[in-house]
Amino acid sequence: MTSSTFTLPLERYRLDNGLRVVLSRDPTAPVVAVYLIYGVGARSEEFGRSGFAHLFEHMMFQGSCHAPKGLHFQIVEANGGYLNGSTHPDYTDYFEVLPSNKLPVALWLEADRMRGLVINEENLANQKEAVKEERRLRLDNQPYVTAIVDLWPRLLFRNWTNYHSLIGSFEDLDAATVDDVARFFKTYYAPNNAVLVLAGDFDLEESKRLIEAYFHDIEPQPAPPRPSTTEPEPDGERSAVYEDPHARIPALILGFPGPPRRCPDYYALGVLDVILTAGASARFQQNLVKGRRSVIQYEANLGWPFASASDYIDPGAYSIFLLHHPSFRTREVLDHVMEELGRIQDDGPSREELERARSFLRAEHVKQLESNIGRAQLLGRHELLDGDAGLVNTELERFLEVTAEQIQSAAQRRLDPAVRAVLEIAPGRREGDES
């Protein structure tokens, strides 16, 4: 069975104002996903303006020209749907999933806030506080999260564009003015910096008519600036130790500079990650969790913790996060992991491992395509990041074609201990703990 078994029908076109549109019809169930992805993320921000991309994820739900604050949620939920948004290093996205006959509702709501978001002092002040509270609850008071989100990128990268906090600093948020925010919106939330995807049950011609009616008169803007993301050549191992007052079990993060998106090593490392970490037969599960019993839990990916292979953009890294048994020193666990990587570098994967990895990748691909929103997200990412939503029908084959020799070669080139980054996370003393 190959990816061609699951070829998605799709149509791509562009409005006169530059909005890219991708339509993928599936009448299996009377449900449609509306997905809008903008080419703006944390790496779009200027120094002193960190957190603007994430702030806008909040601002986009604060009301627009004809949909006052709160109405977006109310309308979608009252019509039997659900919605959300998220911020990433290289994009910000929004979606609604609704019964098919409510498609005009979602398109009208998205067009209305693209055309005219309400940006005023009250909304800005409210969302500044909302972002701060989110940071306190989801980052500052959670084990490992500060190390993962704030400290790990600083070990990986030297360019501020790549390593600064996605959620932003309180100082930058406090300094943001209504004019700053309005300028950011006009620059990045333009139709020519966005992709609109419909996936599910809808009439093609009627949908095109609705999209034209709602979006065609939104003014395009000059192409937004793209800050340089260039990184200097690695100059040796980078390491640090962090005492986490919320952690009760030690942890390790290990990473290596990643390859360019869609180059041969990108596909090889994607398959290698499956061999190392996916499922009960994975090498880490068999050799580190069950065998040595040094590792308790792990996760890894190209672009971890902010991305997966589908939205990884270089410069990035292949990173591994492991919680380990307190009876082992963190550097011992690091040696165990490097031994596993060394075996791949010396011998490559077995034929059985490669077949299991291919089966896993097929299953994951089918799983994502099962839902309308999963299809829409994959189509939107390929259109925005690669310039071709049609890659959804061919990328799986690129992973399935990877050979054992290519995996071994990529591991030798890319998983070099001389350029690795290592962050040790040790349980720290919490305020009020007895000495």
Domain-embedded: residue 320: yes
| Statement to judge: residues 254 and 393 lie in one domain | yes
Distance of CA 44 to the CA centre of its chain: 15
Q: Check if the beta carbon of residue 121 is closer than 8 Å to that of residue 129.
A: no
| Statement to judge: residues 173 and 54 lie in one domain | yes
Q: 375-384: per-residue pLDDT in tens?
A: 999 999 999 9
Q: Check if the beta carbon of residue 288 is closer than 8 Å to that of residue 328.
A: no
Q: Kindly report the CATH number assigned to the domain that includes residue 331.
A: 3.30.830.10
Q: Check if the beta carbon of residue 313 is closer than 8 Å to that of residue 335.
A: no
Per-residue model confidence (pLDDT) at position 242: 97
| Statement to judge: residues 197 and 282 lie in one domain | no
Q: How many Cα neighbours within 13 Å face the side chain of 28?
A: 8
| Statement to judge: residues 266 and 207 lie in one domain | no
Per-residue model confidence (pLDDT) at position 276: 98
Name the phi and psi angles at 130, rounded to 5: -65, -40
Number of domains the chain is built from? 2
Residue 272 belongs to what H/E stretch?
Answer: helix 264-277
Instruction: Tell the burial category of 187 from Cβ atoms under 10 Å away from its Cβ (0-12, 13-18, 19+).
Output: middle
Q: Check if the beta carbon of residue 242 is closer than 8 Å to that of residue 236.
A: no
Per-residue model confidence (pLDDT) at position 137: 80
Output the CA torsion 169→173→174→177 (10° steps): 150
Q: Check if the beta carbon of residue 361 is closer than 8 Å to that of residue 399.
A: yes
| Statement to judge: residues 409 and 266 lie in one domain | yes
| Statement to judge: residues 178 and 30 lie in one domain | yes
Q: 86-125: per-residue pLDDT in tens?
A: 999 999 999 999 999 999 999 999 999 999 999 999 988 9
Q: What is the 3-state secondary structure (H, E, C) of 322-357?
A: EEECCCCCHHHHHHHHHHHHHHHHHHCCCHHHHHHH
Domain-embedded: residue 228: no
Domain-embedded: residue 143: yes
Query: What is the separation, in whole angstroms, between the first and last Cα of the chain?
Result: 61
**Cis upstream peptide for 245 (omega within 30°):** no
Q: Which residues contact 42 (CB under 8 A, 6 or more apart)?
A: 50, 53, 54, 87, 88, 89, 164, 165, 166
| Statement to judge: residues 307 and 418 lie in one domain | yes
| Statement to judge: residues 311 and 405 lie in one domain | yes
Domain-embedded: residue 221: no
Per-residue model confidence (pLDDT) at position 168: 85
Domain-embedded: residue 79: yes
Per-residue model confidence (pLDDT) at position 128: 87
Cα separation of 257 and 319, whole Å? 9
Please report, for residues 76, 269, 321, 332, the alpha-carbon distance to residue 303 in angstroms, rounded to integers and kept in the order given.
32, 11, 12, 25
Cα separation of 263 and 413, whole Å? 13
| Statement to judge: residues 203 and 254 lie in one domain | no
**Cis upstream peptide for 305 (omega within 30°):** yes
Per-residue model confidence (pLDDT) at position 239: 97
| Statement to judge: residues 284 and 139 lie in one domain | no
Q: Which of 183, 215, 247 is the last residue of a domain?
A: 215
Backbone Cα Rg of the chain: 23
Q: Which of 215, 247, 277 is the last residue of a domain?
A: 215
| Statement to judge: residues 204 and 341 lie in one domain | no
Cα separation of 24 and 47, whole Å? 39
Per-residue model confidence (pLDDT) at position 434: 55
| Statement to judge: residues 268 and 395 lie in one domain | yes
User: What single-letter DSSP state applies at residue 233?
Assistant: P
Per-residue model confidence (pLDDT) at position 5: 57
Q: Which of 215, 250, 275 is the last residue of a domain?
A: 215
Residues of the chain with pLDDT under 70: 1-5, 431-435
- Give this prediction's pTM: 0.94
Domain-embedded: residue 225: no
Output the CA torsion 51→419→322→244 (10° steps): -50
Domain-embedded: residue 364: yes
Q: Which residues contact 324 (CB under 8 A, 6 or more apart)?
A: 249, 250, 251, 252, 294, 295, 296, 330, 333
Strands 194-200 and 20-25: parallel
Domain that holds residue 195: 3-215
Domain-embedded: residue 256: yes
Per-residue model confidence (pLDDT) at position 131: 87
Kindly list the strands in the beta sheet with 251-257, ordered across the sheet, starting from the edge strand earlier in the chain: 238-244, 421-427, 251-257, 317-324, 295-302
